[in-house]
Amino acid sequence: MEKSVNRLDAMATLLAVVDAGGFSAASRKLRVPVTTVSRRVADLEAHLRTKLLQRTTRKITLTDAGAPYVAACRRVIEQLDEAERTAAGEYQSPRGELTVTAPLVFGRMHLVPVIAEFMAQFIDIRLNCRFNDRVLNLQDEHIDVAIRIGDLPDSSHRTRRIGTVRRVVCASPDYLSRHGEPRTMADLAAHSCVGFHSFDSFDPPGNWLFATTDSVVSIPIRSRITFDTIESAIDAGSAGMGLIRVFSYHVRPVFRSGILQKVLPDFVPPSVPVHVLHGTEDMTPLKVRAFIDFCVPRLQACLAL
């Protein structure tokens, strides 16, 4: 541990072990052998003459000395990252790598065309796009900008609302010709429905929410099949397997082609907000500011259609 750079490596490795929950997971995250991860942490503990981690076969926990030390390591690494970004000119000109996350279909349909324009204008920025229906943690996953659909929990992240999206119920003409079109919410009891796991945060399990003139009601649905990707749910609906509940932008192209058609249009649930989030630091890197300033008005225009 004589060299300070080795100490920084060890501190970063310790944070990776804590955040990943183990040495093997940290090894995969850092792309170094497990033996290297273990040696760095052991060297750090030897340098400090104290134990930082309690290791068991099931999990790793911080010792009383380890908890405050890990918090201090985070501050050191964050300050170092900030200094490097400043030195690299990220606060003087839009440059460097930018990591962006968005829901899978939203990213593909709405963000990719905007990104293509952005990259043509800002040639010194490299984009790492992570389109995923799983909500990624900005700090843990080193995300610069995130698109979020739904109400946001309280956080220190900076946010800008860019619009709203609506949930719609639809089905294939073939399914409706065989089973009839539901006219009221009560009619859903006689219909098969296709489930989608990512809507669990919007609807109670086994229910769909609908709006009436003075309230929001929860209606039980009969779902024999559930998917974890919206494309699969749309394919199932298009194949006549039942009613599906999706965001309107998910099915805009197939509405136009007639593959699916909307039902129960008078009972659309409340719209869901869409936000852009970015970091908490006082100085926003110019690459982040440039991306947000470029993309927000264009995404707002897309969502207003």
Same-domain pairing of 42 and 189: no
49 shares a domain with 71: yes
Q: How many domains does the chain have?
A: 3
Three-class SS of residue 251?
coil
Residue 220: CATH number of its domain: 3.40.190.10
pLDDT, one tens digit per residue, over 93-115 is 678 889 999 998 899 989 999 99
Whether residues 135 and 284 share a domain: the answer is: yes
Which residues on adjacent β-strands are paired with residue 164?
273
- Going residue by residue through the chain, which has 305 residues, state the pLDDT in tens, using 9 for 90 and above: 444 448 888 888 988 888 888 888 888 888 889 898 889 888 888 888 889 998 876 778 889 888 888 888 888 887 777 677 666 665 566 788 899 999 988 999 899 999 999 999 999 899 999 998 888 888 778 889 999 998 887 666 788 999 999 889 999 999 999 999 999 999 999 999 998 887 767 788 888 988 887 788 889 998 889 998 888 999 999 999 999 999 888 888 888 889 999 999 888 888 889 999 987 655 678 889 899 999 999 999 988 76
The two structure tokens encoding residue 112 = 């990719």
Using the 3D structure, point to which of 87, 115, 147 is the last residue of a domain. Answer: 87
Looking at the structure, tell me whether residues 257 and 212 fall in a common domain. yes
What pTM does this model have?
0.65
How far apart CA 44 and CA 52 sit, in angstroms, is 9
What digits encode the pLDDT tens for the residues 226-277?
998 888 999 999 999 999 999 888 888 888 889 999 999 888 888 889 999 9
- CA atoms of 138 and 145, how far apart (whole Å): 8
40, 59, 87 - which closes a domain: 87
Alpha-carbon distance of 82 to 246, in angstroms, equals: 40
If asked whether residues 144 and 285 sit together in one domain, one would say yes
Kindly state whether residues 256 and 209 are assigned to the same domain.
yes
Given 87, 115, 132, the domain boundary residue is 87
* 181 in the same domain as 262: yes
Q: Tell me 137's DSSP state.
A: P
Verify that 28 and 153 share a domain, yes or no: no
Return the C-alpha torsion angle 114, 116, 117, 120, nearest 10. 160
- 287 and 153 belong to one structural domain: yes
186, 240: one domain: yes
Backbone angles phi, psi at 272, to 5 degrees: -110, 130
Assess whether 75 and 223 both reside in one domain. Answer: no
What domain range includes position 132? 96-163+273-304
Strand partners, 216: 211
CATH number of the domain within which 10 lies: 1.10.10.10
Residues 6 or more apart in contact with residue 288 via CB below 8 angstroms: 98, 144, 145, 278, 279
Same domain assignment for residues 150 and 176: no
